[in-house]
Chain A
Amino acid sequence: MHVGNYIGLVQSSEQQLANAFAQVADHHGDEPDIYQVCQTLSGWSQQHVTDLQPLVDRYAATKNDEPDRLSQTLFKEPRSGGLALLRDLHDLYLLASEVELCWVVLLQAARGLRHQELESRCEEFDKTTKRQITWLMTRIKQAAPQTLIVAE
């Protein structure tokens, strides 16, 4: 049974996402919206990390190192400016998608196990992650033309 493995995976992915949102908030504070929204979204992921703990304990989740490969390539140096913002949003989108995919995988397992609590928790978490993704997509769509076509 690898459910514990995936719960560990999603918890560490959420932690990375929380950190990444907070980092982007700091790097792009000059944008009128990035600081506040990214702080809020970071908080959501941080909340997931906390809320997942009972499940982590129950399934004796083993810490999974895999997703570190993602954030390592993604957020090395502080970046600022138009293109950097787009790249950071792009990377956040990938990180958030990673989390989203974990919920899908776990949700399938929960259904197979007919584990009501796990199922409803996953659905709930997934909703929040989807909202993060929706915002990222909206913001990326806005930034893309200006950044690729006119920004220096």
Chain B
Amino acid sequence: MEQTRDSITDIWGERTPHFGDWPVRVDRRTTAEPDHWVQSACVLCSNGCGLEIGVKDGCIVGVRGLDRDPINHGRLGPKGLHGWEANHSPDRLTKPLIRRNGVLEEASWDEAMSLIVERSKAIIQQHTSLAMGFYTSGQLFLEEYYTLAVLGKAGLSTPHMDGNTRLCTATAAAALKQSFGSDGQPGSYIDLDTTDTILHVGHNIASQHTVLWMRILDRLAGPNPPKLIVIDPRRTFTAEKAHIHLAPRVGTNVPVLNGLLHLLIEAGQIDQTYIDAHTIGFDELKKMVSSWTPERVEALTGVSADQMREAARLLGSTKTLVSSALQGVYQSMQATAAAVQVNNIHLIRGLIGRPGCGIYQMNGQPTAQNTRETGADGDMPGFRNSGNPEHMNQLARLWNVDVRKIPHWSPPTHAMQIWRYAEQGSIKFMWISATNPAVSMPELARIRRILQKEDLFIVVQDAFMTETARYADVVLPAAIWGEKTGCMTNVDRTVHLTQKAIEPPGEAKSDLEIFVDYSRRMDFRDKDGAPLIKWDTAEGAFAAWKECTRGRPCDYTGMSYEKLRRGGIQWPCNDEHPDGTSHLYTDGVFHTSADDCEAYGFDMTTGGAVTPEEYKANDPKGKAFIRAIDYEPPHEEPDQDYPLWLTTGRLVYHFHTRTKTSRSRALDEAAPDSFVQIAREDADRYGIAEGDLIEVESRRGRVIEPARIGDIEQGLVFIPFHYGYWDDPKRSRAANELTLTEWDPVSKQPHFKYAAVRIRKASAADERELVADQAGLFPETGTNTLNK
């Protein structure tokens, strides 16, 4: 085995101090000497590190970072260096499965697809396409999402399409649309190489985006180090390095950010010329935040007035600023509202659209950006506006279908609503690709009830027998990263081509092949009777996608697979910008004009949609929106019965529900089990010692977790959300047993970051007590699949 560093014990590796040009450091881990290398990118977080897959005798034997890649300059983190082992895991799904007499049995592709098509047709005939729902992922490739979006919107014409991206990054998209008129990150990762100040809000970048954090650590170790401000209730790895760490109480991001904005405005540390020329809404913001004095903020959030002043002084005097936000913002109360305040800091100080100034409304998953761009999440492809008839006509022309086929007459159905319709029985068919709602959705007991419904036909397309797949009527074995070719776009709009290195196991097929096959079997056609999906290959899908993006903010027309083989390219990439674009909005003109914008906007408190007429009456014509919003208390707060706050989150070694990461030995061993983190004071109060088993209970469910004490505010408990039941069905342990079915009104992202809970020391008997369906143990059939 060759390994340049041990990323498990030393997550970020050796420092290569820098300012300006980030030095190359190639991280490599191989278990045998490859006979050849295949260019790709890492698919285990939204950072999108370029890498090469080492192949020997048709198997993946390791990876090495791509030295010339703009994202990582050769580096890889623990997930990147180890995650590939999942490809060769012995429990990969290799054959389609069909439920017969309650038990999932092997079947041929033809049998499985025929059954899906037969059920689809019967359901559509009886209930229309409105009974069909699709729930996808942030894990597939761009070409696959686009194919899914076209077959769903122009083939079936169902508005019920969303992805688990709703759970992780819907707020990023919503905040970008609300401020700038369209999705798309304004800045670039290169901004980190020169910026003076960095602000992380609810983003534990050290754990979540380890390679991006290396870039910051290297700046901190180099000449002219930036100042670091971290807003996070927990003392995370990131917070430990901060010059200023603001630790607000759960659910109080908005007051802290409003307080900072107030101090900036009060001190006159704003760019009035920029505000006047390029924004609307400043006066309202000024009025709204004026009551958020540092003292008032301190009383509500626990962040001291002095710290607020110190942070504001830094933010007010810096000449360049990079900000990032993630789940601490997105999965909290007032998610979009808080994310938008981060944008506001940049707008009122004019720190946008030039080197050193970037906003990363981070994505969680590697291809979440593509889910949004292509419309596999319910948006319209190419950031088009469903309320804009011209945009819809463009799609109709492109696909050669009647515009009325495209479900733009009602807002797209968001994930939580799709599940609600399934619960109520009006969605009767659900196709779940590459995601695991039985662990990742809030309020799991409810999700399991829905998955068990007799009148819901479930197709699960995955690489493994996940907790969700156990409930399926048909399971389709999918090829994954390394076994198929396609593009993915990371947070800073960099598009990478990930190429096929090996054959998929057994009969597994790429998601693209499966969707194309479904479309052909369903006989979806355009107006002239030609097949609706006119491509069979990834490159063919990419060509179609390019046409779809022509003239849109995410313009891909200047890219090709050939060009992408030379390295990642940032969109927009077209005739005007053949090498891509590092910064959006360099001229201060945003995508807000009525004929260009992706959405007409929403009321930040209710989510009520602005009508086209209202929008046109005050057409911002390219000016950015500064949106003011006041604090609202969370809907569930600790009380006598449930006196503690629960917050959930991620660990450095795992991704999503561990479907892949726990199948890499080193990652699994580094973080084998869930836990609950509590403050020393609370441990003492409840008589809990390190490692004791604790029962954590909310109004919706309970879990048993070993205790970890310290590094967290008193009154707060933290549980990582990765752990489910497929590998360790001994105790109730999925954090989402406890969470709320409640969402942000604008982004519709669920509130995973807070719930009221109580804790007590558990006994050995509690530990063994597990609801049968949690473990997927169904005694009637004697198998681990559901008899339904």
Q: Which candidate, A8-16, A71-79, A101-109, A134-142, is the interface stretch facing chain B?
A: A134-142
Q: Are the CB atoms of A40 and B410 closer together than 8 Å?
A: no
Interface residue from B603, B609, B741 paired with A32 (Cβ < 8 Å) = B741
Q: Are the CB atoms of B607 and A37 closer together than 8 Å?
A: yes
Q: Are the CB atoms of B130 and A149 closer together than 8 Å?
A: yes
Q: Are the CB atoms of A37 and B421 closer together than 8 Å?
A: no
Q: Are the CB atoms of A36 and B426 closer together than 8 Å?
A: no
Chief secondary structure at chain B's binding surface: loop
Name A1-44 residues within 8 Å CB distance of B.
30-33, 35-37, 39-41
Chief secondary structure at chain A's binding surface: helix
Contacts of A39 in B (CB 8 A): 635
Interface residue from A32, A35, A131, A151 paired with B608 (Cβ < 8 Å) = A131
Number of chain B residues whose Cβ lies closer than 8 Å to a Cβ of chain A = 34
Q: Are the CB atoms of A145 and B742 closer together than 8 Å?
A: no
Contacts of A145 in B (CB 8 A): 130, 159, 409-410
Q: How far is the CB of A118 from chain B (nearest CB, A)?
A: 22
Q: Are the CB atoms of A150 and B131 closer together than 8 Å?
A: yes
Q: How far is the CB of A81 from chain B (nearest CB, A)?
A: 7
**A147 nearest CB neighbor, chain B only:** B426
Name B403-447 residues within 8 Å CB distance of A.
409-411, 413, 416-417, 420-421, 423-427
Q: Are the CB atoms of A82 and B426 closer together than 8 Å?
A: yes
CA distance A151 to B428 in the complex (A): 10
Q: Are the CB atoms of A142 and B411 closer together than 8 Å?
A: yes
Tell whether B606 is near chain A: CB-to-CB under 8 Å.
yes
Name A115-152 residues within 8 Å CB distance of B.
131-132, 134-138, 141-142, 144-147, 149-152
Name B594-616 residues within 8 Å CB distance of A.
603, 605-611
Tell whether B127 is near chain A: CB-to-CB under 8 Å.
yes
CA distance A39 to B743 in the complex (A): 14
Contacts of B291 in A (CB 8 A): none
**A151 nearest CB neighbor, chain B only:** B426
Question: Do A144 and B410 contact each other (CB < 8 Å), given the known contacts A131-B603, A138-B607, A138-B608?
Answer: yes
Q: Are the CB atoms of A40 and B606 closer together than 8 Å?
A: yes
Q: How far is the CB of A83 from chain B (nearest CB, A)?
A: 10
Q: Are the CB atoms of A141 and B741 closer together than 8 Å?
A: no
CA distance A150 to B606 in the complex (A): 26
**A41 nearest CB neighbor, chain B only:** B606
Q: How far is the CB of A142 from chain B (nearest CB, A)?
A: 5
Contacts of A31 in B (CB 8 A): 420
Interface hub of A132, A136, A146 (most chain B Cβ within 10 A) = A146
Q: Are the CB atoms of A146 and B426 closer together than 8 Å?
A: yes
Name B194-230 residues within 8 Å CB distance of A.
none
Q: Are the CB atoms of B606 and A141 closer together than 8 Å?
A: no
Q: How far is the CB of A58 from chain B (nearest CB, A)?
A: 27
CA distance A141 to B635 in the complex (A): 26
Contacts of B748 in A (CB 8 A): 33
6 A-B contacts (beta carbon < 8 Å): A82-B424, A149-B130, A150-B130, A150-B131, A151-B424, A151-B426
Shortest 6 CB-CB distances between A and B: which pairs? A135-B608, A134-B608, A135-B606, A32-B416, A150-B426, A138-B609
Further pairs besides A37-B607, A82-B424, A146-B421: 12, Cβ < 8 Å: A32-B750, A33-B607, A33-B748, A82-B426, A134-B610, A135-B606, A141-B411, A142-B410, A142-B411, A146-B413, A150-B130, A150-B427
Interface residues of A (CB under 8 A from B): 30-33, 35-37, 39-41, 81-82, 131-132, 134-138, 141-142, 144-147, 149-152
Interface residues of B (CB under 8 A from A): 127-128, 130-131, 159, 409-411, 413, 416-417, 420-421, 423-427, 603, 605-611, 632, 635, 741-743, 745, 748, 750
